Structures are given as structure tokens and as C-alpha cells.
Amino acid sequence: MVRYTSVFLVSVLCMAFTAGAAEAPYIQHVDLVYGESHGAGLLMDVFVPTGPKNGIGIVDVASGAWHSDRGKIRDHKRAEMYDIYCGRGYTVFAIRPGSVTRFTGEDMLNNIYQGIRYVKSNAEDYEIDPQRLGITGASAGGHLASLAAVRPSPAKPKGKPQEQLDTSVAAVGVFFPPTHFLKWGKTKAPLNRIGTLLFADGLASKSEDEIKEQAIAISPALQITGKTPPFLIWHGDADPLVPLQQSEVFVKALKKAGNEATLKVKPGGAHPWLTIPEEVADMADWFDTELVKN
């Protein structure tokens, strides 16, 4: 659901060109296979710091409008995400959980579980602590990251080696995530627009109760059952695609359940905004506090 305006793209491309003279603070490993779903291989890019490592991994859910083509990783590059995190010593795992043209929201969630388990099972090789993983994402990626955090998959002692690891994370930092598919701002959510996110064959043959049940199942704000990791959410108050209400209701639900959650509002912020690298840096500060300094 991340849609960059032409003005934003021109600005970030200019910044990227200017920064191109400096060597990137990471080595990018492209299209590593981390799992399989419905017979299709699942891919991630891994960004390994070239400088000192801090021993912490960040899972980046690269998805926009519930599509995870390579363009979503390029968008995150333009937001300086990998430069900022790797510059501080984080190893970043940019998971592509699949696109809504083939996968439902539940499928994508399970694909993220596979990605987290892959990271944890290879933690020693990447020199990171599997118990101090952060997770991030923007828009659809923020939705899926949040859902994975509030609906972690438990360890399966009798499962395959990777399935014997749980998918819990230690901190969640996301941008403008959809979180509540029954209420959308001041109106009902347009469920007909996300039919294949709910069911592979859409809504045509589904009852109202079935649609509601599945919408609840993939709504992070409606899936908080107890303790969650701490959350930081950035959201613009002029977002034309995902209402600020989506983050407000989510933070309210997290706090009501006794969890730590902070919402920061970008005045005039759209979806996204021109200065978003500044907020990425702020989120990196927060991850430093939650994951490195604790």
C-alpha cells in the first residue's frame, strides 16, 4: 500500500544520486531463498553491515499494497532504511512475503513466519541474537509486521528443525499500518477492495459472517490477546490511503492490554512524506534503546 508520489520519487532519487559517491554501509545479498509456499520459493535480500556489527537483526517486511515485487525494496532504499540501520550495525533481512495476486493475508503471515524462523535458525552465521529481533515495515508491510508480532507462531517441538523455533520478536517499529479491517476512519472498511486478501477466490461465495471472521483474523488491532513486544508507530495526519485512526485504535488496544506502545504523528504527513528518512532515523534510535542498550 506504499505509493510514492512523483515528487517524492524525484526527491529521493536526487538524494540517492548525491549519496551515491559514498560507499554504502552494507553488502546486499540478493534473492536468498528462505522458504516455500504453495510450490513457490520465498525470497529475501540480506543487508550486512560493512562496519562494526551490533549483534542485532531487523526483519523488514517489504510489501506495499500487499505486493512484494523488488520495487518495494527499492522504495525502502530510497527511504534510506538500509543505510541508516546498517550504518548503526544492524543486519537487515528484507523479507518479501508474496503478493495478493497469489497469496492471501494468512498465506503472507505464514510466509513471514518462515522468514523469521529462517533468520533465527541462521542467527549464528549472521552474528545476531535470535532473541533480540526487531521487525519493521510500512503500510501493507507494517500491517503484516504488526500481525506477525501480535499473532506469533509458537515453537513446534515435533516439527521440522526450523519449526522448533517460535516467531516472536522483541520490538516492532512500523509506518502507517492498516490494523482494523472492520472500521476504516469514520466508515466501514472497504472489504470488497481486499477480497483476495481475505480469501483466495474473493468474496463472491462467502457469507457476511465468514467475511467478518476472516477480516478480524488479519486485523492486528483485533488480535491482541496478551503480552506483545513494544511498538513504535509513525503515521501522518494527512494520510490519504490509510487513515490515522488505524494507528490510533491499534495503540489504544495495545495499551488497554497492558502493552507498551507509542504513536508519533507526522504533521501534514501523507503516504509517505518527503522527509521520511528523518523518521526512519528516529525509529532506529528507538530500536537502539529497545534492542541494543537494554
Helices 105-121 and 140-150, axial angle in degrees (round to 10)? 70
| Rounded Cα distance, 251 and 260, in Å | 9
Give the per-residue pLDDT at 274.
96
pTM: 0.92
Angle at Cα 63 formed by Cα 189 and Cα 45, nearest 5°? 165
In this structure, are residues 88 and 284 in contact, taking their beta carbons and an 8 Å threshold? Answer: yes
- 3-state secondary structure at position 33: strand
Mean pLDDT by 10 residues, the chain (294 residues): 43 44 89 96 98 98 97 97 98 98 97 98 98 98 98 92 95 98 85 92 94 97 96 98 97 98 98 97 98 82
Inside any domain, residue 254: yes
Inside any domain, residue 93: yes
φ, ψ of residue 124 in degrees (nearest 5): -65, -40
Distance of CA 55 to the CA centre of its chain: 20
Q: Which residue has the cell 512500523?
A: 174
Give the per-residue pLDDT at 188.
76
Give the per-residue pLDDT at 10.
41
In this structure, are residues 105 and 197 in contact, taking their beta carbons and an 8 Å threshold? Answer: yes
Give the per-residue pLDDT at 294.
63
What is the domain count for the chain?
Answer: 1
CATH code (residue 139): 3.40.50.1820
Inside any domain, residue 1: no
Residue-range definition of the domain harbouring residue 70? 6-292
Inside any domain, residue 165: yes
